Amino acid sequence: MSVPVIAFFNNKGGVGKTSMVYHLSWMFADRGLRIVAADIDPQCNLSAAFLDEERLLQVNPPGGDHALTIFGSVQPLRRGTGDIADPHVEIISDRLGLIVGDMSLSTFEDQLSEVWPKCMDRDERAFRTTSSFFRLTQNAALKHGADAILIDIGPNLGAINRAALIASDFVVIPLGPDLFSIQGLTNLGPALRSWRVEWKDRLVRNPAKEIQLPAGNIEPIGYVVLRHTIRLDRPVKAFDRWIARMPSTYSESVLNEGAKSELTVEKDINCLARIKDYRSLIPLAQEARKPMFSLRAGDGALGAHLNYVEEARKDFFNLAVKIAKNANLKELS
**Where are the domains positioned within the chain?**
5-326
Q: What is the pLDDT of residues 108-132, one digit of tens each?
A: 999 999 999 999 999 999 999 999 9
How far apart (Å, rounded) are the C-alpha atoms in residues 332 and 225?
A: 22
For residue 265, the model assigns a pLDDT of 92
Who contacts 11 (Cβ-Cβ below 8 Å, separation ≥6)?
Answer: 155, 156, 157, 184, 185, 187, 188, 191
Q: What's the CATH code, domain 5-326?
A: 3.40.50.300
Alpha-carbon span 308 to 312, nearest angstrom = 6
CA nearest neighbour of 97 among 87, 111, 110: 87
Helix/strand/coil for 152: strand
Q: Could you tell me which of 292, 296, 286, 249 has the C-alpha nearest to residue 271? A: 249
Residue-wise pLDDT tens for the chain (333 aa)?
Answer: 899 999 999 988 888 899 999 999 999 999 999 999 999 999 999 999 999 999 999 999 988 889 999 999 999 999 999 999 999 999 999 999 999 999 999 999 999 999 999 999 999 999 999 999 999 999 999 999 999 999 999 999 999 999 999 999 999 999 998 888 889 899 999 999 999 999 999 999 999 999 999 999 999 999 999 875 544 444 467 788 889 999 999 999 999 998 777 889 999 999 999 998 887 898 899 899 999 999 999 999 998 889 999 999 999 999 999 999 999 999 998
Which residues are registered as beta bridge partners of 224? 174, 273
Contact between 309 and 293 (Cβ < 8 Å): yes
Distance CA 1, CA 3 (A): 7
- Model confidence pLDDT, tens digit, residues 222-266: 999 987 554 444 446 778 888 999 999 999 999 999 877 788 999
Q: Kindly list the distances between the CA atom of residue 8 and the CA atoms of 171, 187, 211, in Å, as whole numbers in the listed order.
A: 6, 15, 26
3-state secondary structure of 282: helix
Nearest Cα residue to 251 out of 315, 154, 176, 173 = 173
